[in-house]
Amino acid sequence: MDITGTIKTPAINIDNGRMSIAGRSILEDSSLFYSPLNKLLEKKANNSRAISQIDMGFEYLNGSSVRCLVNMIRTLEEMYEKGDKIVINWFYYADDESMYDVGKMLQSLTKIPFNIIKKD
């Protein structure tokens, strides 16, 4: 699955158990964009080891996008609690303290192994 990013939406790629989401997420109603992704994850939750690595790197996120990511992490946590091996990698630029802070907040909400990785 590939979704090309736009000026307001992130690029999403799902392939071989790995999902990456990167770019900007500045939608007025983020749930319209993220709802199909959550539904896909819920379907994959019934297929053990369907998603094992999630890489996220954002230039900017608005509040409604953060809420959608929280919902997505909750879905992933259900998979994790059922025994799926999942790791989340949160990438941020060294000079972007706000994206670092969002990553720390998301990390605090889950038991899934969650790496916060600085990019130069």
Choose among 73, 51, 2, 57: nearest CA to 25: 57
Amino acid identity of residue 50, one-letter, is A
So what's the pLDDT on residue 82?
A: 87
Residue 48 reports pLDDT greater than 70: no
Residue 14 reports pLDDT greater than 70: yes
Query: If DSSP codes are grouped into helix, strand and coil, which group holds residue 34?
Result: helix
103: tokens are: 């990553």
b/e code 69-83 from CB counts within 10 Å (16+ = b): bebbbebbbebbeee
Tens digits of residue pLDDT in 62-116:
999 999 999 999 989 988 998 888 999 999 999 999 999 999 999 999 999 999 9
Query: If DSSP codes are grouped into helix, strand and coil, which group holds residue 54?
Result: strand
So what's the pLDDT on residue 98?
A: 96
Domain boundaries, the chain: 2-119
- Whether domain 2-119 has CATH 3.30.2030: the reply is no
Bridge partner residues of 11 (DSSP): 22
Residue 12 reports pLDDT greater than 60: yes
Q: Indicate the pTM of the whole model.
A: 0.91
Distances (CA, A) of 27 to 31, 65, 79, 116: 9, 7, 27, 24
Residue 50: band (very low, low, confident or very high) from pLDDT cuts 50, 70, 90: low
